[in-house]
Structure 1
């Protein structure tokens, strides 16, 4: 399935973003680079499979060697561009949620001021996407990934333990209902502002594997342009579950393709990844070295 460009107000910008984004385009995946700046320390939801960590060894989302301040992130980007001039995308993908604190948006503003030509990409759970939609656009973000693991609260309550909304902790179906509503509202709003939206869905056998078609149909109606279905990494409260088999993963992707193009080359990168994804060489160890600098985030 080819990606329709009629969902974006600026077709040329849309097409160019896809050509240069290694996490949105198969072709770009093997020739263009990206850097994830780990400036977002905390999260406002708790997924049962999520385990955030600071370490150098694990290769998965939610993990970083350090937490950077926005100012330090720009210095890191300067160095990264020297190491990998093929970088076309600057992203923030954690290790917490990008909108749970101000640091990601502050970082994007600084990046956009210094490097306006680079694509800015934000990953979020979507809880606060609608609230910050206009500001996201103001700081130059052109592409967004929203993680949507269910659009049925009775299913999502088995994936998401709780959410924190305006200081209130919500659990169960109440939490899941609010998160789904916020995600769909946020997707619709940010698409109307001309931002390209990709959906990440974690495939969890026995929980949301028979729900994939409804997820994809719903997010397509909300305005998403692309979906990335990734396998569960058993950990946290889901450490006892099995990751989906390659056949289960392929079936889910084929189901999704009825509604949206499917990105099939995701490497489930760390929150401090750097380099060309398709090269299988990550430059983060060179970029950060033995540094353990962090900043206080309360």
Structure 2
């Protein structure tokens, strides 16, 4: 029997409904045209698209207006792969030049995001000058922003002016008592506000900003960090709340808390979740909410496909020597994007046909099996295990095959890739 690839197959633990395991092929078919067009080539909003399309972040936002116990921003760090770290902070002019260089050399790059190393909306002049320039000079690139939400309500109008139709808000709780264990302080109206009072203001601003974005027709993804013993039992409630307010996608991520990163949680020995704990929580949060399971918790200056970082190819000194004809680059990008989209559409139809055939076959009762595969993109198994730095984990069952997660690995083979 040939099993169809069904990202929306039922989970073996707690159930994962047809609309809960990411923006899957079946979901894409049922989405309104306006939304499908927005997400079909966005690697963070579509599990399918992340095999084909690349993204990049520009680090123009060094300041932050809150402190998280899991965060320690670093501005000249090249050896850590996590949010909040960058190799170099850019000016808006440098960010625009770098973006156009990357787009010309990595034509499958479709999305430019500002995600730090601080909070973009705590650096409004730098953030919006970058967006303004890019919307004029590189109109074929989607623009995104990721924020903690504290300054979001005051920024929604400006975001909409720059045709930003994807916003990510990090919401770790909707209970101020829990929030006080995650956020020691916020900076609000020129004052540092601590504890429950500060957490309450942050939560109110996040929810208000979410509602305002939805009213503007902007797609919202919510990120939540799973912190065992702090908010792990609470995140299912967070998922219900943000869905009720119109969030499109929920991304529950594991806490990164290594002592060498210098975060409060890392130094104090707060553990992160195990892969099984994370999967159980994602399944519990799913219900009828779209769940993102392919997040790589990228650096604030990441470049390339999810799971790879080509930032070293585009440092400031290297892009200074690049001659960029962006008009020609846009024409090339258009052709490549159309070819990729045609391939994705063809595979989507093929999967739908196989799924329909599968429904007609006798139901088996074999247990689910986990499989690890290595890929360099395009949705195919095309990488030597020894060269893999991560593996994609799939679950095969009588209901089909669904994507579960990714697992990082140390590359142990230094030979040729052929």
TM-score band by shorter chain is: over 0.9
Q: Which residue of 1 aligns with 2:264?
A: 237
CA contact (8 A) 1:212 1:255 kept: no
Aligned to 2:79: 57
SS state of the match for residue 20, structure 1?
coil
Counterpart in the other structure of 2:112: 90
Q: Distance in 1 between matches of 2:163 and 2:183?
A: 30
Distance 2:150 2:308 in 1: 33
CA distance in structure 2 between the partners assigned to 1:183 and 1:57 by the alignment: 32
Shift of 1:219: 0.7
Q: Residues 60-139 of structure 1: matches in 2 within 5 Å?
A: 60-102=82-124, 103-139=126-162
Aligned 8 A contact 1:217 1:259 in 2: no
Moved segments of 4+, more than 4 Å: none
| Alignment match of 1:263 (pick from 275, 288, 292) | 292
Q: Distance in 1 between matches of 2:189 and 2:92?
A: 24
Q: What does residue 191 of structure 1 align with? A: 214
CA distance in 1, matches of 2:128, 2:36: 24
Structure 2 residue runs of 5 or longer lacking an equivalent are 1-17, 321-418
Indicate if the aligned counterparts of 1:22 and 1:33 stay in contact, CA closer than 8 A.
Answer: yes
Q: 2:305 aligns with which of 254, 268, 276?
A: 276
| Alignment partners' CA distance in 1, 2:264 and 2:288 | 31
SS at structure 2 position matched to 1:64? coil
Q: Secondary structure at the match of 1:256?
A: helix
Work out the number of aligned pairs and report it.
286
Q: Note the 1:151-190 alignment, pairs <5 A.
A: 151-190=174-213
Task: Give 1:145 deviation, angstroms.
Answer: 0.6
Instruction: Please point out which of 141, 150, 153 is paired with 2:173.
Output: 150
| Counterpart among 242, 247, 251 of residue 276 in structure 2 | 247
Q: Residue 91 of structure 1: SS of its match in structure 2? A: strand
Give 1:281 deviation, angstroms.
2.9
What's 1:20 paired with?
A: 41
RMSD: 1.7
Residues of 2 paired with 1:258 and 1:161: CA distance? 32
Kept in 1, the 8 Å contact 2:94–2:316? The answer is no
Could you tell me the TM-score, scaled by structure 1's length?
A: 0.92
1:100-139 per-position Cα deviation (integer Å, ceiling 9, x unaligned)? 0121121111111112222111000001111110100101
Structure 2 CA distance, aligned partners of 1:180 and 1:259? Answer: 23
Residues 162-197 of structure 1: per-residue CA shift (max 9 Å, x gap): 000121110001000000000000000011101100
Q: Which runs of 5+ in 1 are unaligned?
A: 294-298
Paired with 1:210 and 1:41, the residues of 2 have a C-alpha distance of 32
Q: Shift of residue 289 of structure 1?
A: 6.6
What SS does structure 2 have at the residue aligned with 1:52? coil
Describe the SS at the equivalent of 1:230.
Answer: strand
Q: Helix, strand or coil for the counterpart of 2:120?
A: coil
What is the CA deviation profile of residues 21-42 of structure 1, one whole-angstrom value per residue up to 9, with x for unaligned ones?
1011111111001110110001
